[in-house]
Amino acid sequence: MRNPPNESDRPAPEAPGAPGLPAPDAPESREEPGAPGKPADFDREALARFKREKTLRIGSLELKNPFVLAPMAGLTNRPYRVLAAEFGAALVFSEMASAVALSRRGKGTLRLLENDKGEGSCPFGVQLFGKDPRTMAEAAKVAVFERGADLIDLNFACPARKVVRSGHGAALLKDPGLARSISGAVVKAVPVPVTVKTRPDFAPPPEGTDPLVLTLGKELEEEGIAAITLHPRHATQAFGGVADWSLVERLAASVGIPVIGSGDIDGPVTALKRLLNHGATFAMLGRATRGRPWLFGECLELYRGAERAGPASEPESGSRPTPGEKLPKTLALRLRTGVRHAELLRDYLGEKAVFPLRTILTWYTRDLPGAAAFRNRIVRESDIGRQLEILAEALSFERVAESLRERQCGNPENDPAG
């Protein structure tokens, strides 16, 4: 059974170097942490207060920092999770998995839950969707006892039509009693923390009326839910408009369990500001990590007191890089990470990895000169080694710098879009 799209992010397909390449999107971020050499702008006193007052714990699970990888359909397979953990994610999630398929031990669904417990790994959460309390409880047992899940997350948030039509995901916001029953059944079934991901309400409530989550949150806490992730858009909004983080703040003030904020986090400064200004204990990062898994490392640098997110991020601070910026390090980071991602995916899928790599490798060249031409070449390749050679060529500092110089001289053929 193919799992439907996860609400966390719109779905997309998915070290030491490969042969002939050095050892080990373009970011989606539009945030501007400052020009190179300029300190990032956020309240450092608030950061010190956050560290004093917040306990980075979900139930019995203690996390090393407040930055969490979102569950994303078609994306957060084992290779993606390993990369996120290597760059510092405190908790990673599987793709959204069907409780029905998992309770029947469907081969494809079990594969979604393959987990890396090696050195440098971090806690692993499994996100489930379903509408029957007994089935959800059985699926949670399989995830914990047969796949080693450290945490179970219940999806009450996915707005995808086929998910809602079948009574799953955000449809459960129309039946809070069932959502509560599911939560209680799963909490009783497994010895690990159980969390919920939700939206404020299925549709915007009448003016002057509080969204459902402010009452449902308290009820879920009573059922033993250890934390709530809130994507602060109503389900009918899907991903439209702007995430209303004031709702995260209101939820955090109304419950005694941690709140994980999700939505519109596009870079390290935004992540810190969301945490410090809206009451959340954890920040969930999703689409912005595609082709930029080092975003977790950038967040950690700021969290630990650095003045800026580090030179790797500076040329990507909202404007096109110029030859005078620290481009070599940025390009080297993209290449090392792209190669690492490819090798992890090849270990996971074998030679079939060539197909998702046609999409994944383009993430690492986005916003650079010639990105469209690279995309056209990579989609025709059926050999992983050759794909990585093309990536190395696309990320050549001399080629990129020359293209930028020509663009500055007014050559329209060197538009960074291709």
Average the pLDDT over 182-197 and give the result: 98
193 by DSSP, 3-state: which?
A: coil
Q: What is the pLDDT of residue 352?
A: 94
Closest alpha carbon to 115 in 138, 145, 137: 145
**Residue 136 or residue 32, greater confidence:** 136
Q: What is the pLDDT of residue 32?
A: 36
Is residue 313 over pLDDT 60?
Answer: no
Q: Name the residue type at position 296.
A: F
Average the pLDDT over 235-251 and give the result: 91
Q: What is the pLDDT of residue 366?
A: 84
Q: What is the pLDDT of residue 390?
A: 87
In contact, 159 and 169? CB cutoff 8 Å: yes
Q: What is the pLDDT of residue 360?
A: 93
Is residue 416 over pLDDT 50?
Answer: no
| Local structure of residue 68 (DSSP, 8 states) | E
Is residue 24 over pLDDT 50?
Answer: no
Rounded Cα distance, 11 and 133, in Å: 27
Catalytic residue annotation:
158
Structure tokens at 140: 């949670």
Percent of the chain clearing pLDDT 70 (strictly above): 78
Is residue 166 over pLDDT 90?
Answer: yes
Rounded Cα distance, 225 and 59, in Å: 9
247 by DSSP, 3-state: which?
A: helix
Q: What is the pLDDT of residue 40?
A: 57
Closest alpha carbon to 244 in 230, 261, 229, 232: 232
> Which stretches within 169-315 are classed as H helix?
176-189, 213-222, 246-254, 268-277, 295-303
Rounded Cα distance, 260 and 24, in Å: 32
**Residue 3 or residue 345, greater confidence:** 345
Residue holding tokens 């074998």?
A: 350
Is residue 312 over pLDDT 70?
Answer: no
Q: What is the pLDDT of residue 21?
A: 28
How far apart, in Å, do the first and last CA atoms of the chain sit?
38
Fold of 44-303: TIM Barrel (3.20.20)
User: How many beta carbons lie within 10 A of that of residue 240, not counting itself?
Assistant: 8
Is residue 409 over pLDDT 70?
Answer: no
Is residue 317 over pLDDT 50?
Answer: no
pLDDT tens-digit map of 191-234 = 999 999 999 998 989 988 999 999 999 999 999 999 999 999 99
Average the pLDDT over 97-111 and give the result: 95
DSSP assignment of 324-381, as one string? Answer: TSSHHHHHHHHHHHHHHHHHHHHHHHGGGGHHHHHHHHHHTTTTSTTHHHHHHHHTT-
Annotated domain spans of the chain: 44-303, 314-414
**Residue 262 or residue 116, greater confidence:** 262
Rounded Cα distance, 139 and 70, in Å: 20
Q: What is the pLDDT of residue 42?
A: 66
Is residue 126 over pLDDT 80?
Answer: yes
| Most confidently modeled range among 32-41, 164-173, 374-383 | 164-173
Q: What is the pLDDT of residue 197?
A: 98
Residue holding tokens 């971020």?
A: 29
**Residue 27 or residue 216, greater confidence:** 216
**Residue 161 or residue 118, greater confidence:** 161
Rounded Cα distance, 78 and 76, in Å: 7
- The radius of gyration of the chain's CA atoms, rounded to the nearest angstrom, is 21
**Residue 16 or residue 141, greater confidence:** 141
Is residue 110 over pLDDT 50?
Answer: yes
Structure tokens at 188: 């009783």
Q: What is the pLDDT of residue 1?
A: 42
Residue holding tokens 């596009």?
A: 266
